[in-house]
Amino acid sequence: MNKITLLLLGVLLIAIASCGTHKYTVTHDFPAAMAPHIKADYVKQWEKGRVLYGMNCAKCHSTYKGKHEIIPNFTPEKLTGYELRVQNARHEAAMPDDIVSAEDLALITIFLTYKKKN
Ligand code: HEC
């Protein structure tokens, strides 16, 4: 193997390794009074919502500081308003996220409501 090939291989390996180290830093923050079995259910939904947010919303709403993803702290009022707007697809023809199902949007709302604030 010549030096160039080795160099390219090295660059490739670093690129692959850095993909693997991109991890979500966001954590959840449920009310302390929430009963453990209810919290366990919510955590599952929250995890799904996190993935769905990443697929459907992050490209417009997340900002990045290096590898650290900053997800906006939407207030409950903003989230409810948004959910109502998106559910009416005719009013929201201009928004690409009318393809997000009501169920997905509910999960995303749980994620955004209970993520730890920035
Ligand atoms: C194509 C880009 C784009 C995508 C994708 C997108 N949004 Fe938005 N969103 C915007 C823009 C631009 C606004 C501001 C305009 C407005 O308030 O109507 C907005 C507004 C909002 C608001 C209201 C914020 C406020 O301050 O009133 C919420 C909540 C929101 N988006 C959540 C979401 C969620 C949840 C998703 C994923 C399902 C999503 N958005 C996907 C571009 C996007």
Q: Are 104 and 46 within 8 A, CB to CB?
A: no
In angstroms, what is the span from residue 97 Cα to ligand 1's centroid? Answer: 9
In angstroms, what is the span from residue 65 Cα to ligand 1's centroid? Answer: 20
Phi–psi pair at 103, nearest 5 degrees: -65, -45
Count CB neighbours of 26 within 10 A.
Answer: 19
Residue 113 has pLDDT above 90, yes or no: yes
pLDDT in tens, 24-34: 578 999 999 99
Single out the residue of 117, 8, 100 nearest to residue 54, CA to CA.
100
pLDDT in tens, 19-63: 544 455 789 999 999 999 999 999 999 999 999 999 989 999 999
pTM above 0.85, yes or no: no
For residue 79, the ligand 1 atom closest to its alpha carbon is 29
